[in-house]
Amino acid sequence: MKSRFTPRLIAVALALSLATAGSALAVRPESCGGGRMEQRMGQHLQELSRLHGELRLDARQEALWQEAEQFTRSNMRAMGERMRQQRSEMLSLVSQPGADLRAALKQMDDLRDAARKQRDAGRERWLAVYDSLDASQKEKARLFVKSRLERMGQGGRFGPGGPGGPAAG
């Protein structure tokens, strides 16, 4: 029986799963500073912590994990701050009569592009962790990603009507 889960798909899914919180920043700027984002990040980090414990990393793998985790955390804090600042600036700008909405949207696009570059850099760090795993560790990572993807299809991170969920009617 041919598996639908190719090694490349698993690697990409793992990277996306590990970088979930980073992508949430670029998609939902209105939630910056709110408790939901921090709550989701906390839940995500708890899940990663369980996976981390199950993987039983050697010293080299642990160093890669810590680097990826630290990069993700610091990137999330910095991006959250930039988005809160941008939201405040945008609100101030559009509150003025005759505001140039094109310029405001350009600034938002620039921030989104910067966030994408940072997510890509974080994904590369997590893929370096994945590449360092042995076969049994990669299997544990695959099962972790599979469970997250299944939850997403049941109204998890994206909710019903989101990617993998039932269509909104």
Q: What is the mean pLDDT of the chain?
A: 78
Give the least confident one: 10-19, 28-37, 56-65: 28-37
Six-digit token string for 130: 């994945």
Task: State pLDDT tens for residues 97-122.
Answer: 998 889 889 989 999 999 999 999 99
Q: Which of 122, 146, 109, 105 is nearest to 23 (CA)?
A: 122
| Mean local confidence (pLDDT), 31-53 | 73
pLDDT band at 37 (very low <50, low <70, confident <90, very high): low
pTM of the model: 0.66
